[in-house]
């Protein structure tokens, strides 16, 4: 048999057969053949292999499992059904995060230094993993093998998870968002796993009430797939200023389109200018560097106050996740009485 001539789907079939037979050497050969086939496959061929490969993730050893998860993510990016792939990827992510947190706990018991950084995707990853294993008492010490494997594959699982979370069906499949976010926080949050954290925080079909303090006007909107507040800020200016509801200079049509579904090379992203200062109802600033999850919920709906910008801010227009479609839709303009009643319960913006 010449594995190298197989499509990814056929290679997955061979890998499944080897795993079912419990044949380790054959499984390793089949996995190597899968990686080779995937490297030269057309997008449609990758997409066809995605769901079946996702189903094999629980049967793979930890190290190749992380690499296979990355390949599942590539299959989703090539068109594989995210709903069919998300379950095994997100389950694997959850287990990896738990074990990576345990690695940090085990490390703190033997060293006052920060836990070491290493990834099996890097050339020196295995060597650094071996050093960490030795420091923790060796591979036979309780929990060490799994914890080290999780730490070494964490980057792979983040990439795989972000690929499936780029789709509404993938986000809907998240088993326990609060638990995942707690583990992400324990591992460093946005300083260590920013893309994963932001992907887990994305809101879909989320109501948003926006109050424009200078005019007293209010708007009921609905947002989906918005990765960060830079993106939301640009979309707000497009909907409210370009839509003719507020005065000012809104983003260009290209800038707004890039915040929804369009893509260009990073170096071609146009610069856009902030139109507002975003605040919570208590007057605290809602920073562009955060996510829409930062907007407080009042009476069951997120409430955002727009003030004049205190200074000029520029940023490249576009989406935090280029593969994640987003939108912000105006559902209705609040009546003057509704807007005033809500504004009367807000505090002035804090001074910078």
Q: What is the DSSP string of 175-188?
A: S-HHHHHHHHHHTT
Cα separation of 226 and 210, whole Å?
Answer: 16
Pull the structure tokens for residue 34. Answer: 């899968």
The residues that bridge with 207 in the sheet, in sequence order, are 222
Cα separation of 49 and 71, whole Å?
Answer: 10
Q: Which of 201, 216, 242 is the last residue of a domain?
A: 201
Neighbours of 103 (CB within 10 A): 24
Q: Are residues 304 and 156 part of one domain?
A: no
Q: Which of 134, 167, 201 is the last residue of a domain?
A: 201
Give the number of residues written for the chain. Answer: 352
Q: Are residues 214 and 175 part of one domain?
A: no
Residue 93 inside a domain? The answer is yes
Q: Are residues 244 and 219 part of one domain?
A: yes
Contact 34, 71 (CB under 8 A): yes
Burial class for 123, CB neighbours closer than 10 Å (0-12, 13-18, 19+): exposed
Q: Are residues 276 and 155 part of one domain?
A: no
Burial class for 32, CB neighbours closer than 10 Å (0-12, 13-18, 19+): middle
Cα separation of 256 and 254, whole Å?
Answer: 5
73 is in which domain, residue-wise? 42-201
Pull the structure tokens for residue 314. Answer: 């520029």
Q: Are residues 240 and 197 part of one domain?
A: no
Q: What is the pLDDT along the chain (352 residues), one digit of tens a residue?
A: 444 457 999 999 999 999 999 999 999 999 999 999 999 999 999 999 999 999 999 999 998 999 999 999 999 999 999 999 999 999 999 999 999 999 999 999 999 999 999 999 899 999 999 999 999 999 999 999 999 999 999 999 999 999 999 999 999 999 999 999 999 999 999 999 999 999 999 999 999 999 999 999 999 999 999 999 999 999 999 999 999 999 999 999 999 999 999 999 989 999 999 999 999 999 999 999 999 999 999 999 999 999 999 999 999 999 999 999 999 999 999 999 999 999 999 999 887 6
CA-closest candidate to residue 167, choices 55, 321, 329: 321
pTM of structure: 0.93
Quick one: angle between helices 24-39 and 62-77, nearest 10? 30
């Amino acid at each position: 048999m010449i594995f190298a001539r197989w499509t990814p789907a056929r290679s997955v079939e061979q890998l499944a057969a080897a795993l079912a037979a419990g044949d380790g050497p054959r499984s390793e050969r089949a996995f190597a053949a899968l990686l080779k086939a995937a490297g030269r496959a057309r997008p449609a061929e990758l997409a066809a292999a995605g769901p079946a490969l996702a189903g094999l993730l629980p049967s793979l050893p930890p190290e190749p499992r992380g690499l296979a998860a990355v390949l599942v993510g590539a299959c989703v990016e090539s068109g594989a059904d995210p709903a069919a792939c998300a379950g095994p990827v997100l389950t694997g992510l959850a287990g990896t995060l738990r074990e990576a947190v345990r690695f940090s706990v085990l490390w703190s018991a033997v060293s006052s230094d920060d836990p070491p950084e290493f990834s099996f995707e890097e050339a020196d990853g295995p060597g650094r993993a071996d050093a960490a294993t030795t420091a923790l008492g060796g591979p036979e010490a309780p929990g060490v093998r799994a914890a080290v494997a999780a730490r070494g594959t964490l980057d792979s699982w983040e990439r795989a998870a972000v690929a499936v979370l780029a789709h509404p069906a993938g986000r809907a499949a998240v088993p326990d968002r609060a638990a995942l976010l707690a583990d992400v926080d324990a591992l460093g949050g946005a300083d260590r796993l920013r893309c994963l954290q932001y992907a887990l925080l994305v809101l879909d079909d989320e109501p948003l009430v926006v109050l424009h303090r200078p005019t007293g006007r209010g708007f009921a909107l609905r947002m989906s797939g918005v990765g960060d507040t830079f993106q939301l800020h640009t979309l707000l200016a497009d909907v409210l200023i370009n839509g003719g509801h507020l005065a000012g200079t809104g983003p260009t049509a290209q800038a707004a389109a890039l915040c929804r579904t369009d893509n260009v090379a990073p170096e071609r992203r146009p610069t856009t200018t902030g139109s507002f200062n975003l605040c919570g109802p208590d007057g605290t600033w809602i920073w562009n560097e955060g996510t829409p999850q930062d907007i407080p919920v009042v009476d069951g709906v997120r409430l955002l106050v727009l003030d004049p910008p205190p200074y000029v801010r520029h940023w490249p227009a576009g989406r935090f996740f280029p593969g994640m479609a987003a939108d912000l839709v105006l559902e209705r303009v609040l009546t003057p009485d509704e807007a005033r009643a809500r504004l009367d319960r807000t505090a002035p913006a804090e001074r910078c």
